[in-house]
A and B are shown apart, each in its own frame.
Chain A
Amino acid sequence: MSILVVAEHDNSALKPATLNAVAAAVAIGGDIDVLVAGSDAGSAAAEAAKVAGVSKVLHAEGAEYANALAENLAPLVVSLAGGYSHVLAAATTSGKNVMPRVAAALDVAQISEIIEVVDAETFVRPIYAGNALATVKSSDATKVITVRATAFEAAAAEGGSAGVESAASAGDAGMSTWNGSELSKSERPELTSAGIVISGGRGMQSGDNFPMLEGIADKLGAAVGASRAAVDAGFVPNDYQVGQTGKVVAPELYVAVGISGAIQHLAGMKDSKVIVAINKDEEAPIFQVADYGLVADLFKAVPELSDEIDKVRG
């Protein structure tokens, strides 16, 4: 068996979820090659070569790969896929954008967001917002798979010594251009890989109140997330959304503040190790999944939380 992992990177460094996709490849077993397609992406390719378990890095260079446009990246992956039994990518917005395009071009199914490898043909994936887990078996010649990062412990970033080979570009499809991005800037850890996440919901009432949560996040080295309602209301940007149709997180500690606990939100955080809920409504469904629930007005509890954390960490 041989597996191709499509790396996600910003041309200079790998995105952490790539390491989780490599871990899923290790669970399948076989030779693991990593494709780094980018523009001036030599340092990302060199980083991929150091990842434990990787046999070879394929490095495709070209301006057409600078921003991972699916129209350009998918044909490259398709041109390489012939030699592989499996093609994997992390189930990030980038992986979700590109991989179904690869699968359809290969005339195979895609298996979305696997959380477990049963064997090389059989995988477990959540459906219905994680309220059911389906075990599916594929007999397609090439298995095209996206990997839920939180379900596979990241492969070690160091320890490997793979060779880097260059791969020929498949060219610019000439159908799409990238105009620019508006990325949220933050010194805090990335939501999906943070050890602690503190999220606010509609109960926060306004974006002006989020600095309360940010202050605590900074003390704990945590990331800040949100419910859909908080994003829809414009309190925080879209990339904060945790849930079925947002980001999936599974930190050591998840603190939900002013979030009711709709199934769509739970889908994105119920695999967290310890869950804390602060909500003034003792009937809120979030308490059914919380290890520690505090029925309180958040505007009183959150400032207290900040002070108490100072005391224990003092």
Chain B
Amino acid sequence: MKVLVPVKRVIDYNVKVRVKADQTGVELANVKMSMNPFDEISVEEAIRLKEAGKADEVVVVSLGVQQCQETIRTALAMGADRGILVTHDGDLEPLAVAKMLKAIVDKEEPGLVILGKQAIDDDCNQTGQMLAALLGWPQGTFASEIEIGDGSMKVVREVDGGLETVTLNMPAIVTTDLRLNEPRYASLPNIMKAKKKPIDTMTPADLGVDPAPRLEVLKVVEPAKREAGIKVPDVATLVEKLHNEAKVI
């Protein structure tokens, strides 16, 4: 079975983002970029499936600017086999990404696609579900455990009330949650090896998809800042203030 893993290049989760003065978006110049953390979990899971003999090839795909190639290389260094880069300079919304991924799935015919549950830049949490809809495949979102069976798979999902288990026919879509695994670090020899692994490059037009966004971003602003509070010297003062000043207890 082939496993396809879409990986997104995003601002590193440790960076404090700054909104641009002209309110068109956030500052991306000279900012550290990394693989979306949920996508590292997806890559790790796919590699583990391969190591367990449940998958025979792990293909990673990234859509966006040319530098997404670095994100693909990171996944290849972790142990993925080859990459697909779809270059596009403008903004890409989940629907357009899902359409391009569908075109790639139609060609590559994977048995499983593992995406992150959410990109930490747009916080959309949409792409996997959209891809599942376009393909007519079942979806196991927010996965904290997966088990591949014979023609079907079990997915334990993190839901608001706790955990839920579903069985999906395969091929299927999975989106990863934080507790699925702990991604490995790439070793130096594997980083060197990854440089030789193949990456195919294509464009949205090659995939027959119009990547134009559907939503118009009118402005991007900073949220209101909270007023700085006070330090209290002890618990008695804290409780007195919560009771008499804030009146919340």
Contacts and interface: CB of A to CB of B under 8 A. Distances in A.
A93 B141 CA distance: 9
Contact of A104 (B95, B163, B217): B95
A102 to B, nearest CB: 8
A127 B122 contact: yes
B221 to A, nearest CB: 5
Given A103-B130, A137-B216, A253-B246, A71 B240 contact: no
A245 B117 contact: yes
A288 B231 CA distance: 10
B33 to A, nearest CB: 13
B228 interface: yes
Contact of A305 (B165, B216, B223, B238): B238
Interface in A214-241: 220, 228, 231-232, 237-239
Interface stretch (A42-50, A79-87, A157-165, A181-189): A181-189
A166 interface: no
Contacts of A135: 217-221
A158 B6 CA distance: 46
Nearest to B124: A112
Nearest to B142: A93
Nearest to B168: A176
A74 interface: yes
B129 A97 contact: yes
Contacts of B164: 67, 178, 180-182
Interface of A (DSSP majority class): mixed
Q: Name the prevailing secondary structure of the B interface residues.
A: mixed
Contact of B249 (A105, A192, A301, A309): A309
Contacts, number: 261
B26 A100 contact: no
Given A103-B95, A128-B26, A292-B232, A239 B242 contact: no
Contacts of A113: 123
Nearest to A128: B17
A102 B129 CA distance: 9
B65 interface: no
Contact of B223 (A133, A174, A231, A244): A133
Counting chain B CB atoms within 10 Å of each CB, which of A93, A98, A309 scores highest?
A93
B238 A93 contact: no
Contacts of A270: 226
A99 to B, nearest CB: 8
A71 B240 CA distance: 52
Nearest to B127: A100
A167 interface: no
Given A103-B95, A175-B168, A237-B162, A128 B11 contact: yes
Contact of B169 (A109, A176, A309): A176
Contact of B160 (A94, A130, A182): A94
Interface of B: 11, 13, 16-17, 19, 26, 38, 93-95, 98, 117-118, 120-134, 137-139, 141-142, 144, 154, 157-169, 177-179, 213-223, 226, 228-232, 234-236, 238-243, 246, 248-249
Given A176-B168, A184-B161, A292-B231, 9 more contacts: A96-B141, A100-B127, A101-B129, A103-B133, A134-B220, A175-B169, A237-B163, A239-B159, A275-B226
8 contacts: A71-B139, A100-B129, A128-B17, A139-B216, A140-B214, A192-B160, A252-B248, A305-B238
